[in-house]
Structure formats: C-alpha cells, structure tokens
Homo-oligomer: A and B are copies of this chain.
Amino acid sequence: MKDVRWGIAGCGKISHDFTNALTFNKSNVVACAARSETSSKRFAETFGIPKHYGGYDGLLEDGEVDVVYIGTIHTTHCELVMKALDKGKHVLCEKPIGMNGREVRKMVALAKEKNLFLMEGMWTRCFPATRKIASLLETGELGEVITCTADLGFSIPFEVKRLYELEMGGGGLLDLGVYPLAWLLLAFGDQELKSVNACASLHESGADMTGVITLRFGKEGVGSASYSSRSETQKELHINCTKGSIRVRGCWSSHTPERVEVRRDEAGEADVFEFPIEKNFPIPMNFGNSEGFVNECRHVEECLRGGKLESNFWSLQETLKSHDIVDEIRKMLGVTYPQDQE
C-alpha cells in the first residue's frame, strides 16, 4: 500500500482532532461518515474531505477506503470494527476498542481471519518520548524496575453523561485509567502479572469515578495506576528502578509525554530528553495535546506500508491483556456494562 487512504467513522470531537492531525500530516482522507449527514457534511467541509456519508455503511463499503479510523462512542466500537473488518478494511479504533475482553477477542479473531490490520488507538505508545522510555527499559541499564506509578485525572462535569452513565459506556477506568495502566504494562514488560488490586469511588449511576489499580509483577515489581474524572491530577509517570529512575512530568505528561528525565544517581543531575509536540496547526484542536495524534497517524501508515497486521507499539496481545485486567478490576468494583451480558 503506497498511499494509505483513510475513512473516518464518527465526526465528533475526537475524530475532529485525529483528522486534523491527518490533514496536518498531508495524509489522504477520502471519506467521512456520521450518524447524521449534516454532521458528516460539515466535517467534510472543515477538512476538505471529498466524500461524506450519513450512516456508516456507505463508508465501510467505499472501495477507495483502505483503513477506517473509528472515533464514535465506546459502546459502538465493537459493532463498527466487526463491520469494517468484514468489509475488508484495516482498522484503527479509539480506546477502549471494546467494552470488555470478550468483545476484544471477537475483533482480534476476525482481524486475524481476514488478514487485516487492527489497532486500539493507545496513541501514547506512538509518542517519541514513549519510544525513548521503551528503549531505555529494553537496555536494562537502570537495573530492575521496582515501582511504576502513573496517573491521569481531569475534572469532568457530571453533565458529560458519556463519562458517568453505564449505558453510554461511562466510567473513569475505561476512559482514563487505561492510560496509566498501559504505562504499567510498558514498565514491567514481559514480567509475569502476579496480582491485581483496585479500589474506586462510584457515581450513583454505578460508573466508577476515581480509582487506584495496583499490580504486582515478577519477583518484586509493584505498579500503581491512578485515575479520576473528578479532579485534575498531577498526570505524571515515575518508573523507579534499582539503578535509577525515569520521570515524565508537566501538563498532560502521562498520556501525551514530551519530556523524559532519566536519573542514574538520585542526587545527581537528570539527563533530559525533549520531544516537543508540534503545535503549529491551522485548525485548533478540541483536546489538549491532540496535535500528538500525528505520531499515531504516521505509525499506522508505516505499519500498513510495511504490510504489518498489528502495531509493535501497542500489540493486540497487550490490548487483550489490558482489557482482561480492566475486566478483573471491574468485577472487584462491581461495575457492569450492558455489553457484559452476552
């Protein structure tokens, strides 16, 4: 595939930001679709997209579309991903790609059956700062990872119902908690997961709002992932090892990292690696640091051009692992979605 041709499913805020990044990257976006044609028409005009559809079927059957980006609400992801794969499209789907591990297994199985690319949009993994951290950990030069602490919290009003209503896939864990959780999976890599612990506050609807996940790995690794939809938190990442540490701090650091501090000696100076996000976009973004989506656009195009069927930055195995952990935590918290009933 030389020129990757994108189709966009969903014309809401997150699709806006992703498509804005595609446009900035001079990627080829050939069509977009939303439930209402009014929305998709406006979206097409904003980004100069040649074709737009009301409803998703037209887009998924469009022979000019190679890969579909799915940016609709969580609860619709599985159905749309399955349809897209069924129509022979490669897929990048926003996180969470499904509401539970069962949905994810279905999608992964179909992608493998159809020999199509499938990726959950854990965009943090595509940031150069994240790749730097991954390669630092691979060398083992900081010794054994003992603790990893990551958090992500925003003060999101109760009016944003998709966050607080179970019917809409609400809950802080699925929306925010998966980011710090992904950091724990990166930090401890292939080490065996020994135990999962969690506690959270629940909204009266039953959706979780603020929580802490604690995972034990291997011989003596302890990871802690915190999230909140009720308060801005520090949004940081700390990986503490026997011979040094990695810190990512600053505004929105833990999911859109731009600066990595590496210490080999606690008292000494840190080595600082800067990967500033290019902010010079003609169309403004809805969410902070969404310009970093460019990294994900490029990564997916590279994968597709290379004929890969999954991302090596956020593999399908990791996607499954993350969803299985989320399922286990939800059981502990008593958070159940309609999708959990098969």
Contacts and interface: CB of A to CB of B under 8 A. Distances in A.
Contact of A222 (B195, B212, B221, B238): B212
Interface string A201-240: 1000000011110101001111010101011111000101
A27 to B, nearest CB: 30
A256 to B, nearest CB: 15
A197 interface: yes
A171 B201 CA distance: 30
Interface in A244-277: 245, 247, 251, 266-267
B228 A234 contact: no
A159 B105 CA distance: 48
A240 B232 contact: yes
A209 B197 CA distance: 17
B242 A222 contact: no
Interface centre among A149, A214, A221, A231 (most CB of B within 10 A): A231
B197 A197 contact: yes
B247 A242 contact: no
A292 interface: no
A251 B265 CA distance: 12
B222 A224 contact: no
Given A231-B240, A231-B242, A233-B240, A226 B146 contact: no
B234 A241 contact: no
A313 B219 CA distance: 39
A251 B147 CA distance: 18
Q: How many copies, total?
A: 2
B240 A146 contact: no
A200 B151 CA distance: 19
A221 B219 CA distance: 31
Contacts of A224: 212, 224, 226
A201 B145 CA distance: 13
Given A212-B212, A212-B214, A201 B220 contact: yes
A234 B247 contact: yes
A234 B224 CA distance: 13
A14 interface: no
A113 to B, nearest CB: 39
Nearest to A219: B201
B214 A146 contact: no
Contacts of A212: 197, 212, 214, 222, 224
Given A209-B220, A212-B222, A234-B247, 12 more contacts: A149-B149, A155-B242, A197-B214, A199-B222, A201-B219, A212-B212, A212-B214, A212-B224, A222-B226, A228-B240, A233-B245, A234-B240
10 contacts: A146-B230, A147-B226, A147-B231, A149-B233, A197-B197, A220-B230, A224-B226, A231-B245, A232-B266, A234-B238
